[in-house]
Homo-oligomer: A and B are copies of this chain.
Amino acid sequence: MAESIGAHRRPLLPELAAGSDPAPDGLLDAVAAYERALMTNDLSEMDRLFAPGPATMRGDAAGLLVGHGAIGAFRGGRGGAPLRTVRELHVRRLDDNHALVVAVTAPRSGGRGQQTQLWRRGSVGWVVDVAHVSVPAPVVDASVWRVVGAPLVAPTGTGGLDGVRVAVKDLVAIAGQVIGAGVPEWLDEAAPEPVHAPAVAALLAAGASVQGIARTDELAYSLAGRNPHYGTPPNVAVRGALPGGSSSGPAAAVALGQADLGLATDTAGSIRVPASYQGLWGLRTTHGVVSTVGVLPLSPSFDTVGWLAREPQTLRAAAVATLGVTSVPLGGVVVDLAVLGLVEPALAAAVRALADRLDAEPVDVTGAIGGLDVLADRFRTVQAAEAWRHHGAWVTAHPGALGAEIGARFAWAATVTAEQEAAARAELAATRDALAAVLGDRVLLVPSAASGAPAASAGGPEIERIRTVTLTLTCLAGVLGAPALSVPGLKVGGAPIGVCLIGPRGSDVALIDRALDSAVLTASWAL
């Protein structure tokens, strides 16, 4: 890299801009040394030139890093900064030992950037105390989106969703577009869809536009939100954390403000988990009330279509546009404290406190169904059998098309026997009736996920463990075929966690209204 810079016969820094202060002694040498270290990815030199200690800061569009260690770890992980030229250099001298340096940069790859650095002269010379970096925006965040338009599809009508921009999960048919399902080989073979899925058409008719097609975990068979082919979407709420899946793209698009509504699917938590991890509102609808025509199936016994939004009013408008408003009486809020034994203690405490504030009555869900883990196991068995029925032939014919984690999940799904499936299905039917009888018209409160978002660096076994626990919570609504609303109501250890309200079948809009009526559920941090 040093050679390629030299080959351009360009000094590392330009003359100071007109109006700049004279630089204090030694400052420009340090600025040039930093630029050289950046361009050659000399990590130890960059570490040396940033002030040691926990208060050093470096911020960019992805968030603020605080502490020399966090900054060094970030640099170590990015594999070098983009090559650039410093076009303009401004120095603001504060005193002999402090100066602010503002650089306008021209990345080799186009566009313009800016770097603002507070330099301080300490015992070891000049070091950076605070840095703020801007780089040109990418054309599109390919971890979030596959296709984006301005808009991709215009509204067909006007109504409650006027001006709302929709991120459509890459499982749902848009006329003229293919379904990619998060798998490159699937995408390559797909033919354009002849018509919009009814779930898309309903939103367009109410005034929404389709902004684009957003990423999904492979074939939607995951809750993590990490795709080995297209990268991991960011989690705006927790830098460096997983976004949650499988509706990872629609959720990230909405959290980033790149869409207002995500149109997504939820079989086993694929809307509720990313909503929880990212501080969004998310609704898994009553099973069967939104058409799944034009939606790639995973497990039709549990597959539902629903939405994610930053604002509950947007979510409500999407539900009303698709379902209409039906009057469903809702009883009080109930909570099964035994369920909370599954989740991390701080979260359990937060849910308990919330239940108190809501005067939630106790309910014995666990007893009615013979143990949550047994329920989740049966759910997973039927889900796997159906997933293999729909995708097994394709997966078999395309060895290597899936990443290791989802590949292993399908390999396990292939082993589920017809007898196992039939037994699990019969037991689930009985459990559903018992559960529905216990709950009646009441609203069951559970956490939307077992924890805040795991780190994006979490290993496969850790992800599998988290999925198992989370499924134990999310399968309740799946088994019931009931609507489940994730409300951004809790924060544990700095990370958002959703409060999930499970209502009787058909209470989709009523659940949103209940949450909107309940001030305690609209915690201020989520706004």
**Which A residues are closer than 8 A to B by beta carbons?**
8-10, 17, 19-20, 54-55, 57, 59-64, 66, 85, 88, 90, 92, 94-95, 98, 100, 102, 104, 107, 109-112, 114, 116, 118, 129-130, 132, 134, 136-142, 145-150, 152, 165, 176, 192, 211-212, 230, 236, 253-259, 310, 524, 527
Contacts A60-B134, A61-B114 known; list 5 others, CB within 8 Å. Answer: A95-B95, A98-B98, A100-B129, A110-B257, A139-B148
Whole-angstrom distance between the alpha carbons of A192 and B85 in the complex? 42
Between A107, A134, A136, the greatest number of chain B beta carbons within 10 A of the residue's beta carbon is seen for A134
Assess the B114–A64 pair: CB atoms within 8 A.
yes
Contact of A147 among B107, B148, B254, B310 (CB under 8 A): B148
Smallest Cβ-Cβ distance to A82: which chain B residue? B257
Expressed in whole angstroms, the minimum distance between the Cβ of A184 and any Cβ of chain B is: 9
Assess the A140–B136 pair: CB atoms within 8 A.
no
Assess the A19–B192 pair: CB atoms within 8 A.
no
Contact of A136 among B85, B102, B152, B257 (CB under 8 A): B257
Whole-angstrom distance between the alpha carbons of A12 and B132 in the complex? 23
Expressed in whole angstroms, the minimum distance between the Cβ of A155 and any Cβ of chain B is: 12
Chain B contacts for A118, CB-based, 8 A: 92, 100, 118
Expressed in whole angstroms, the minimum distance between the Cβ of A61 and any Cβ of chain B is: 5
Contact of A256 among B88, B100, B111, B192 (CB under 8 A): B111
Smallest Cβ-Cβ distance to A85: which chain B residue? B527
Whole-angstrom distance between the alpha carbons of A255 and B136 in the complex? 11
Q: A107-B257, A137-B138 are in contact. Are A132 and B132 (CB under 8 A)?
A: yes
Between-chain CB contacts (< 8 Å), 26 pairs: A8-B527, A10-B524, A17-B66, A19-B54, A19-B66, A55-B92, A57-B90, A61-B136, A63-B104, A63-B114, A85-B527, A92-B118, A92-B129, A94-B95, A95-B95, A98-B98, A110-B258, A116-B116, A137-B138, A137-B256, A140-B148, A140-B149, A146-B149, A147-B150, A147-B152, A150-B230
Expressed in whole angstroms, the minimum distance between the Cβ of A101 and any Cβ of chain B is: 10
Expressed in whole angstroms, the minimum distance between the Cβ of A417 and any Cβ of chain B is: 40
Assess the B524–A64 pair: CB atoms within 8 A.
no
Assess the A110–B149 pair: CB atoms within 8 A.
no
Assess the A139–B92 pair: CB atoms within 8 A.
no
Whole-angstrom distance between the alpha carbons of A102 and B142 in the complex? 29
Whole-angstrom distance between the alpha carbons of A351 and B402 in the complex? 59
Whole-angstrom distance between the alpha carbons of A64 and B98 in the complex? 22
Contact of A255 among B59, B110, B149, B255 (CB under 8 A): B110
Chain B contacts for A527, CB-based, 8 A: 8, 10, 85
Between A20, A64, A142, the greatest number of chain B beta carbons within 10 A of the residue's beta carbon is seen for A64
Closest 4 CB pairs of A and B: A110-B257, A139-B258, A142-B150, A137-B137
Assess the A139–B140 pair: CB atoms within 8 A.
yes
Assess the A112–B63 pair: CB atoms within 8 A.
yes
Expressed in whole angstroms, the minimum distance between the Cβ of A111 and any Cβ of chain B is: 4
Assess the B19–A134 pair: CB atoms within 8 A.
no
Chain B contacts for A259, CB-based, 8 A: 139
Assess the A8–B98 pair: CB atoms within 8 A.
no
Chain copies in the assembled complex: 2
Assess the A64–B102 pair: CB atoms within 8 A.
yes
Assess the A116–B92 pair: CB atoms within 8 A.
no
Expressed in whole angstroms, the minimum distance between the Cβ of A244 and any Cβ of chain B is: 16
Smallest Cβ-Cβ distance to A57: which chain B residue? B102
Between A8, A118, A257, the greatest number of chain B beta carbons within 10 A of the residue's beta carbon is seen for A257
Expressed in whole angstroms, the minimum distance between the Cβ of A157 and any Cβ of chain B is: 15
Assess the B134–A132 pair: CB atoms within 8 A.
yes
Q: A55-B19, A134-B59, A139-B211 are in contact. Are A111 and B236 (CB under 8 A)?
A: yes
Contact of A104 among B59, B111, B136, B230 (CB under 8 A): B59
Expressed in whole angstroms, the minimum distance between the Cβ of A232 and any Cβ of chain B is: 14
Chain B contacts for A94, CB-based, 8 A: 94-95, 98
Assess the A9–B148 pair: CB atoms within 8 A.
no
Contact of A102 among B132, B139, B253 (CB under 8 A): B132
Expressed in whole angstroms, the minimum distance between the Cβ of A102 and any Cβ of chain B is: 6
Whole-angstrom distance between the alpha carbons of A524 and B7 in the complex? 11
Whole-angstrom distance between the alpha carbons of A342 and B19 in the complex? 35
Chain B contacts for A257, CB-based, 8 A: 107, 109-111, 136
Whole-angstrom distance between the alpha carbons of A59 and B134 in the complex? 9
Whole-angstrom distance between the alpha carbons of A118 and B91 in the complex? 12
Whole-angstrom distance between the alpha carbons of A20 and B54 in the complex? 10
Expressed in whole angstroms, the minimum distance between the Cβ of A405 and any Cβ of chain B is: 22
Whole-angstrom distance between the alpha carbons of A130 and B92 in the complex? 9
Contact of A145 among B139, B141, B165 (CB under 8 A): B139
Whole-angstrom distance between the alpha carbons of A256 and B62 in the complex? 19
Expressed in whole angstroms, the minimum distance between the Cβ of A254 and any Cβ of chain B is: 7
